[in-house]
Amino acid sequence: MFRDDVSDWNWEINVETSEEVNAYCMPGGKIMVYSGIIEKTHATDDEIAAILGHEIAHALREHGRERMSTAFVQQVGLIGFAAYISSRDGSRLSKETAIQAAALGATLFFALPNSREQEREADKLGLELAARAGYNPMAAVSLWRKMDALSNVDIPEFLSTHPSNENRIEDITQHAKVVNHLYLENKPK
């Protein structure tokens, strides 16, 4: 429904025994779920569907490939900037500082916001996928509340690859209401 070529992909969902509360998807539909996310959150079937929907959405939107392309462009730009700055007058320290500032700026103002937007997109599409499969989209809200309670790191959103837990829970709650009709139409009778 979302892509013509996904039926040709060799989809895999793998579970690795690990304390880590995480999951990820590589290009082409290779999904890894760490057992810690299931065990530590005491995830229900609906919550596991939210996790898988999110990761499937990353694959459908090719976020992994997009991140690799973004990183490549960022590196080429930094190499070009470094070559330019090296040819200019000034101390070695000032040149290195300029290059480091450019790298930090590219990360803060280009890479991280793009990554957060991909996470938001995967959250929304993942909720829709789970709802279409007959899983309650509100389970993503309960899952993120559990994950927030387990989190011992509070990184400001602008320094993170992911939306803050607070913003994410708010966004997911709103979108779950939007796609709830899909769940009601498709839930097991």
The pair phi, psi for residue 24, each rounded to 5°, is -155, 165
Let me know the angle formed at the C-alpha of 59 by 44 and 123, rounded to the nearest 5 degrees: 50
Average pLDDT, the chain: 82
Q: Which domain holds residue 83?
A: 46-186
- Could you read off the pLDDT of 93-125 as tens digits, one per residue? 676 776 676 666 555 555 555 677 888 999 999
3-state SS class at 162: coil
* Residue 24 is assigned to a structural domain of this protein: no
Mean pLDDT of 158-169: 71
| pLDDT value at 87 more than 80 | no
For residue 142, is it within any domain? yes
Domain contains 31:
no
Active site residues: 55
Amino acid 8: pLDDT: 85
The residue with greater pLDDT, 35 or 75, is 35
- Assigned token pair, 53: 């929907």
The pTM (predicted TM-score) of the whole model is 0.74
Fill in the DSSP letter of residue 178.
H
Contact between 173 and 141 under an 8 Å Cβ cutoff? The reply is yes
